[in-house]
């Protein structure tokens, strides 16, 4: 939600006008699609990473404003919590040495940001959920002082009509009630963008949905929240509950949550924008002056501001994006599945795996979504979040029958999906040496059954076994994580031990 908004109340007329404008935007989008006004294929991808700030003791630091002032770069932006930042990498064409170029840009940018953060005794940490976060850190006074965050907080609580309830049962159980959306700030992720033509959008989005579980199984990195060991990737249940506008009665009626995996395979991008309009009331009914149909009648391209704003408050794990660049509209699939970290190498390995696999699956003559039900894909996603690299997933068997069977995620990835990802990267024209190096990182995670979440959990328990209390073990795990993250070797090589 990059819109600059001013905090304030909304009345009935605001919501009625917004609904009318949103319907006009949908009509404008439909007309743009019918008239084939969208950008030609450019094979462009983009990358965003949400970051944490922590001190040398591993505890969160509430000073993103000070750090951003010192960084003084448009590539870094504020995020929901005062201990959060976001870095944006400019779009790249998926070809050649793109993976190594991304890695170098990230290392350079993060090293610079970390030097600036250290000027105020903070450090940059790439992790899905900072293990040392407590309920005392995730309160409304620690939200970033940005109008849109305050307004979003007020609107979610007003729609819900009561406190936000967290209830996550994993290895341990966490129950907590919050008077703000601040717990959402615990979730720091990687967002992968892929610009696609309208004709390819459905295939790419369906493929991204099908592989979301595999992404989580390989990349899980968020096993702790408020001192409890929960799911191997605790971000999805936390994010869903922290942004839930439904009181218990609406949940019991089957009303859809705003953080949503979805419920069906699609046939076009319009399906998703229309669902967002039909199922979800406006959280931020802020209207612009543009009349999209008049703009189209004049031969120009509308910004569709209300649709873009509304779309930013429906938190799909694979989100459709409409944008206009240099006067030409385009569509993107924004993949929001992955947690941040642990290292730049791990992030780029996850990136390579995703882009290669999505391309290969989107081009299959008999695609996976014609053989795997959407409910099975959703169940896979939940299983991967719970169990991470040890998850068992359902997947169509190779061959003509297409029957679905259960198998360990590591076997599925190693035997079936890594070759597909390699073929997909070849299709993009990615340098073979880069392809083999980064997919090799995923292969080693499978072989050793190690990812960020499994390393964090094993190290935490090593601390407990060594006589540390729970809080001390979490802090020691975080400090050790930061040391190894800065060293830069991928997480599957990290020793489960504390120095000395």
pLDDT in tens, 319-341: 999 999 999 999 999 999 999 99
3-state secondary structure of 390: helix
Phi and psi torsions of 332, nearest 5°: -130, 150
> Could you give the angle at the alpha carbon of 336 between the alpha carbons of 334 and 341, nearest 5°?
125
**Predicted pLDDT of residue 147:** 84
Phi and psi torsions of 343, nearest 5°: -125, 170
139-161 as b/e, with b when 16 or more CB fall inside 10 Å? Answer: eeebbbebebbbbbbbbbbebbe
50-61 as b/e, with b when 16 or more CB fall inside 10 Å? Answer: bbbbbbeebbbb
Burial of 299 per CB tally in 10 Å (0-12, 13-18, 19+): exposed
- Percent of the chain having pLDDT more than 70? 98
Q: What is the mean pLDDT of residues 151-155?
A: 91
Q: Is residue 257 over pLDDT 90?
A: yes
Instruction: Using pLDDT thresholds of 50, 70 and 90, give the confidence band for residue 130.
Output: very high
Q: What is the mean pLDDT of residues 426-431?
A: 98
CB 230 within 8 A of CB 362: no
DSSP letter at 189?
B
**Predicted pLDDT of residue 500:** 67
Of 2-6, 299-303, 388-392, 437-441, least confident by mean pLDDT is: 2-6
Phi and psi torsions of 90, nearest 5°: -60, 150
Q: Is residue 467 over pLDDT 70?
A: yes
- Percent of the chain having pLDDT more than 90? 91
Sequence-ordered list of residues with C-beta below 8 angstroms from that of 301, at least 6 positions apart, any chain: 32, 37, 295, 324, 327, 328, 329
Q: What is the mean pLDDT of residues 55-71?
A: 97
Q: Is residue 399 over pLDDT 80?
A: no
Closest of 187, 186, 182, 176 to residue 157, by C-alpha:
182
Q: What is the CA radius of gyration of the chain?
A: 22
Please, where are the H alpha helices in 285-431?
292-297, 305-311, 344-362, 374-387, 409-412, 418-428
Q: Is residue 1 over pLDDT 60?
A: no
> How high is the mean pLDDT of the chain?
95
CB 293 within 8 A of CB 24: yes
Q: Is residue 412 over pLDDT 80?
A: yes
Q: Is residue 188 over pLDDT 60?
A: yes
CB 17 within 8 A of CB 287: yes
| Alpha-carbon span 375 to 92, nearest angstrom | 34
Q: What is the mean pLDDT of residues 2-7?
A: 44
CB 224 within 8 A of CB 460: yes
Sequence-ordered list of residues with C-beta below 8 angstroms from that of 346, at least 6 positions apart, any chain: 219, 441, 452, 490, 491
| Alpha-carbon span 374 to 261, nearest angstrom | 10
Which span out of 93-102, 281-290, 390-399 was modeled with the highest average pLDDT? 93-102
Between 500 and 179, whose confidence is greater? 179
> Could you give the angle at the alpha carbon of 305 between the alpha carbons of 156 and 235, nearest 5°?
40
Please, where are the H alpha helices in 363-469?
374-387, 409-412, 418-428, 432-448, 452-465
Instruction: Using pLDDT thresholds of 50, 70 and 90, give the confidence band for residue 191.
Output: very high
Q: Is residue 8 over pLDDT 60?
A: no
Instruction: Using pLDDT thresholds of 50, 70 and 90, give the confidence band for residue 94.
Output: very high
Q: What is the mean pLDDT of residues 16-38?
A: 95
Instruction: Using pLDDT thresholds of 50, 70 and 90, give the confidence band for residue 5.
Output: very low
pLDDT digits (tens, 9 = 90+) for 331-381: 999 999 999 999 999 999 999 999 999 999 999 999 999 999 999 999 999
**Predicted pLDDT of residue 9:** 62
**Predicted pLDDT of residue 148:** 83
CB 181 within 8 A of CB 244: no
Burial of 177 per CB tally in 10 Å (0-12, 13-18, 19+): exposed
Q: Is residue 447 over pLDDT 50?
A: yes
**Predicted pLDDT of residue 307:** 97
Q: Is residue 3 over pLDDT 60?
A: no
Q: Is residue 22 over pLDDT 90?
A: yes
Q: Is residue 41 over pLDDT 90?
A: no
**Predicted pLDDT of residue 497:** 86
**Predicted pLDDT of residue 379:** 98
């Amino acid at each position: 939600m990059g819109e600059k908004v001013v905090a304030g109340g909304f009345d009935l007329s605001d919501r009625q006008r917004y609904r009318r404008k949103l319907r006009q935007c949908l009509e404008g989008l439909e007309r743009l699609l019918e008239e084939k006004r969208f950008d030609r294929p450019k094979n462009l991808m983009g990358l965003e990473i949400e970051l944490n700030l922590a001190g040398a003791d591993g505890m969160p630091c509430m000073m993103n404003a000070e750090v951003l002032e010192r960084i003084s770069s448009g590539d870094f932006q504020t995020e929901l919590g005062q201990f959060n930042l976001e870095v944006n990498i400019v779009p790249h064409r998926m070809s050649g040495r793109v993976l190594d170029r991304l890695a170098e840009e990230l290392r350079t940018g993060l090293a610079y940001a970390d030097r600036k953060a250290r000027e105020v005794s903070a450090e940059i940490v790439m992790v899905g959920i900072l293990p040392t976060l407590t309920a005392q850190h995730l309160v409304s006074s620690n939200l970033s002082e940005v109008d849109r965050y305050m307004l979003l907080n007020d609107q979610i609580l007003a729609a819900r009509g009561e406190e936000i309830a967290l209830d996550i049962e994993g290895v341990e159980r966490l129950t907590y009630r919050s008077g703000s959306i601040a717990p959402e700030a615990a979730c720091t992720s990687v967002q992968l963008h892929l610009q696609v033509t309208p004709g390819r959008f459905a295939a790419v989005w369906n493929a991204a949905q099908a592989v979301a579980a595999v992404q989580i199984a390989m990349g899980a990195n968020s096993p702790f929240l408020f001192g409890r060991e929960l799911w191997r990737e605790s971000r999805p249940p936390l994010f869903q509950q922290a942004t839930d506008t439904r009181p218990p009665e609406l949940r019991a009626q089957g009303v859809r949550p705003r953080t949503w995996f979805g419920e069906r395979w699609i046939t076009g991008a319009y399906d998703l924008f229309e669902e967002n309009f039909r199922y979800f009331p406006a959280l931020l009914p802020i209207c612009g002056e543009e009349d999209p149909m008049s703009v189209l009648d004049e031969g120009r391209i509308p910004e569709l501001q209300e649709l873009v704003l509304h779309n930013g408050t429906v938190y799909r794990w694979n989100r459709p994006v409409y944008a206009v660049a240099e006067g030409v509209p385009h569509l993107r699939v924004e993949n929001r599945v992955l947690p941040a970290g642990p290292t730049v190498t791990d992030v780029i390995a996850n990136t390579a795996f995703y882009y290669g696999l999505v391309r290969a699956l989107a081009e299959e003559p008999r695609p996976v979504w014609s053989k795997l039900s959407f409910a099975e894909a959703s169940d896979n996603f939940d299983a991967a979040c719970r169990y991470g690299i040890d998850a068992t997933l359902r997947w169509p068997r190779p061959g003509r029958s297409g029957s679905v069977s259960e198998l360990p995620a590591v076997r599925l990835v190693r035997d079936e999906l890594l070759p597909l990802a390699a073929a997909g990267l070849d299709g993009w024209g990615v340098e073979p040496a880069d392809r083999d190096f980064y997919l090799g990182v995923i292969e080693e995670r499978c072989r050793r059954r190690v990812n960020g979440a499994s390393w964090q959990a094993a190290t935490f328990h090593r601390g407990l076994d060594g006589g540390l209390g729970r809080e001390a073990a979490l802090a020691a795990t975080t400090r050790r994580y930061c040391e190894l993250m800065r060293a830069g070797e991928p997480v599957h090589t990290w020793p489960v031990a504390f120095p000395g």
